[in-house]
Each structure stands twice: as C-alpha cells, then as structure tokens.
Structure 1
C-alpha cells in the first residue's frame, strides 16, 4: 500500500507490505533510485516482516528540499517515519547511500533498531572532491545533467554480463534516475561528500550484516571487510554481483538478508 506519510520532518512517500503485527523492516534506497528498487525483495520479505519502503529525501515523492543535506538529516527522516507509523523499534536494510544511513542509525539511534543490514556500502563512500564536482555539475546541468548521468550509470551499477543479458531492467533503472530531482540528487551528493563514519564504527553494538558485491566498483569488498573488522557485532557476506546487487542477484540477496534478519528476530 503506497501513501504519502505526514511526519514531523515532512511528507514522505512510503509503501507498506506485510502484516502490521510482524516485526517492522525499513528499506532504504540507493542514490538515484526510489522505493521501487526493492520490488524484487518485497514479496518474500513481507512474509515475515512488516516491510516499510520509503523514498529518501530528495528522491521520488519525498521532500525535495534545498541542499546541502547531511546524513543526520537522512537518519532523522527515518526516525520521523518510524514515529509517524508508531514503530518503536524495528530492523533496517539499506543499499549504498541507504546503507550509509544505516550506519548513521547504528551509531546515533541504536536503541531503535534490533538489527541493521548495510549492503553495497562503506563508512566513507567516494571522495569529497568527486561528490562536490558531481553536485555542481547537476545543479548547473539540471534535467540534462541527470540524462547524462543516467547514460553512464550502468557500468557503475551492474556487471557487463547483466547489462548484456537484462537490457530492459537496465533501461528501467536508467529512466528512474533521469526522473530524480537534480537538486535532490545533488543535495544527497553533498551529504556523501561530508560523511566519514569510519572512526565511529567500533562504538556500534547493534547486530550488523555487511553485504558486499564481489564485482562492485563503487563500494568494494575491501570496504565491507574493513567495516566488519571494526564492528564486533557484525558478519560479512558476499554476493556475485556489482553495486545494485539486490537487482542483479535478487534471490541470493533476499535469502542472505532474510536469513540474517530472521536470526536476529528471535535472538534479542
């Protein structure tokens, strides 16, 4: 069920699946996508969880406020969504930017989460200059800049084999990126430029899953290994895919995340 949810931090586009009596699971999208990116996971996850998908600020039907954003903003948005839905404590799974949001939540709002899955992400994603250059390019180029970005996205998102074998899915993802607000995207680039959570990782004591794509050029296996070494309550799993691993290898991704979350559901 899709709806606009009124929260203390604005109206967010969300979609709810699964019985409300089940443990709550929030799914957080990657940069340049919307809650539709989780379609391959919804049916299976909603058997055991009350799945809450949402468009991150700057994306889709959620607030497109002027930047720069910080991950404090994106993390507090999650908490506001939980509050509006009267979810005191839940689970969280995010990919790339969404995974970094999960790290922020594990550091700053651990009491609200039973377990967090951080997928295809890192405690420091990219470089300050790289993100600032991309943000400036999109603010200047607007919609045209988003079209240019979409043309180059597949090589960052997927393996060559997947691009060749699943052109319709790749095209659909590119079209979704083209429709993202240039300012919203740029403001999230600002957040990525300034966020470095590496020094905070040893303080995390929430059960964590780090899931890495073996062919991911954006957030690498080494990034995941370094996080796993610093978080004593974490485990590391790998998947034969690139950056958007939940789309390239949906069954494997869903099985790994579902298994991890189900274990935590009964253990604490």
Structure 2
C-alpha cells in the first residue's frame, strides 16, 4: 500500500542534536525561517515544513470543502515527527505555524518539549473575514492577497524590496489558491482561548510592536493565559524578519533552558 504524502520539509543541523520543528506563516514557505536558521541549527536538528499548497507541499493535504482545521495541520506535523522517530520535540511557529504548535501543546503535551509562539495568537479574529478571503482566493487566485501583503507582513515597507522580502512575496505568488484557501478555513475555525491554561510546557511568546496583523495585545493574551510563559516584545512586523538576530537569540535562550540532551 502506498504511504500517504507528508508535508514538504527540510532538515538542517546535526542529526544527533535535539529536535526542533519550525512552522511557517500563512502565505509563506519554510524560507520564512531562513534568517534564524544558522543560529538554531547550531544546537538543534531543525525541521522546517511547508503548509499545504505552499512551497513544496501538496494542496490536497487539507480538505477543500471549508472544514479544514488547525487540528488537521497539527496531525500532519505529528506525522512528520513520527517519520523522524521523534517522540518529543521543541516547536516554534510564526502566526498560523504558532497556532499549530499551541494546538499540539494542548492536545498532545507529551510530544511537545517546549513552545515558541512568534507573532501568533490564540484567536485570529472572527471567522467571516477569513471565510471571505478564502472565497476571494478560490475565485480570483492569490493576486488580490499579494497586493496587500507587504503592508500586513512587514513593519518597514523597505523590507519588501530586500532580497528576503522579494523571496517571501514570490513564495506567496506561487502558492496554490486551493491550499491557501484551506488554510484560511483553518484560521476561521481556530479559537484556543478557552484552552490556554492547559499549556504547561515552557513557552516563549514573541510579539511584534510593528505587527498590525497580530498586534502586541495578541501576544499578551497568550502570555497571560499560559502559565509561566515569557513574553518578549521586538520591533518586528508580522513575519519577524526585521530583527532576525533578536528573535533567534530569544529562541536560543529559551531552548537552552530545557533539561536533558534529547528533551
């Protein structure tokens, strides 16, 4: 019997190092973590993955009938970890990628050794705007979203003209509308606010003072709701690319506090 497809992923860092899974934001690929990769891969076996329809991942890894969920994405990530033989792993994610990690920490706490939530949220607003965006992309493709993304993604408009900024926008332009819309459906249905107190793993919350998509209030809500979470504010936009050294250093410090060579 043929094995089901996995999310596209890339591994970096020493094979014997403790595992770290990095999740991306909607509309981006695993390259969104490129600015922090060298720092994190020095001490960890880093697995970066692509959302369905993004980067190298097939669009049909999520349902396309409006029933997609963060839980379905989290199940895909667990399949990646299982394929590596990882019983537990540290996890960090940006925006939707962070929501996947938070869901795992609530529903599969034995698998998550630590959690990093970067420019993320327990609830990305009411479902209607996400449903409307999903319908728009299904109807017209990602073009309309691409036009408005620089203002949502970057704290400094100049970032859109940098090498990394252009690469991220190109990733969005090449995203499969079917997969993008399914991820919008997942965000529409996501609300982890009642369950934040169930997260007991060591958690770092990084919020962006320049983030208009998930402003600092979202980061504060996460940090207030998760026991003993640490909140760090940085002058970054939604994709956390303006201060890569600060974000990477914060995550590295958080990860060094974990006990045991393999968690």
Give 1:265 deviation, angstroms.
4.2
Per the alignment, residue 201 of structure 1 pairs with 196
TM-score where L is the length of structure 1: 0.91
Query: Are residue 61 (structure 1) and residue 60 (structure 2) matched?
Result: no
Partner of 1:257 in structure 2?
Answer: 251
CA shift digits 1:67-126 (9 cap, x unpaired): 231111000111100001101111001000001111101101110111010110100013
Task: Report the equivalent of 1:180.
Answer: 175
Unaligned runs of 5+ in 1: 1-6
Among 155, 159, 166, the alignment partner of 1:163 is: 159
User: CA 1:9/1:126 → structure 2, altered by over 3 Å: closer, same or farther?
Assistant: farther
Give SS of 1:237's match: strand
- SS of aligned partner of 1:12: coil
Match of 1:226 among 214, 221, 227: 221
Which SS does the other structure have where 1:52 is aligned? Answer: strand
Q: What is aligned with 1:112?
A: 111
Conserved? CA contact 2:6–2:79, under 8 Å: no
Residue 253 of structure 1 and its aligned partner are, at CA, apart by 0.8
In structure 2, distance between residues paired with 1:162 and 1:253: 19
> Following TM superposition, by how much is the alpha carbon of 1:209 offset from its aligned partner in structure 2, in angstroms?
0.8
Give TM-score scaled by structure 2 length. 0.93
Q: CA deviation at 1:37?
A: 1.2
- Paired residues, number: 257
CA distance in 2, matches of 1:89, 1:167: 36
For residues 127 and 4 of structure 2, the distance between their equivalents in structure 1, rounded to whole angstroms, comes to 27
Which of 24, 34, 38 is the equivalent residue of 1:39? 34
- Runs of 5+ in structure 2 lacking a partner? none
Residue aligning to 2:137: 138
Change in 2 beyond 3 A, CA 1:9/1:230 = farther
RMSD: 1.8
Deviation readout 1:208-243 (Å, 9 max, x if unpaired): 111100111111111111111111131111111111
Tell me what 2:5 maps to.
10
> In 1, distance between residues paired with 2:15 and 2:220?
35
Query: How far apart are the structure 2 equivalents of 1:131 and 1:74?
Result: 17
Where has structure 1 moved over 4 Å in runs of 4 or more?
265-268
User: Which moves more between the two structures, 252-261 or 66-75?
Assistant: 66-75
Q: Alpha carbons of 1:86 and 1:136: their partners in 2 closer, same or farther (altered >3 Å)?
A: same
- Structure 1 residue 9 displacement after superposition: 5.0
- Separation in structure 1 between the aligned mates of residue 188 and residue 79 of structure 2, nearest angstrom: 24
2:20 equivalent among 20, 25, 45: 25
Supply the distance in 1 between the matched residues of 2:256 and 2:48 (Cα, whole angstroms). 18
Structure 1 residues 102 and 88, CA, compared in 2 at 3 Å: closer, same or farther?
same
* Mapped partners of 2:103, 2:180: distance in 1: 19
Query: Equivalents in 1 of 2:113, 2:17: separation in Å?
Result: 13
1:52 maps to 2:51: no
* Shift of residue 60, structure 1, vs aligned partner: 1.9
Contact persistence 2:204–2:231 (CA under 8 A): yes
Would the aligned equivalents of 2:22 and 2:49 in 1 still touch at CA under 8 Å?
Answer: yes
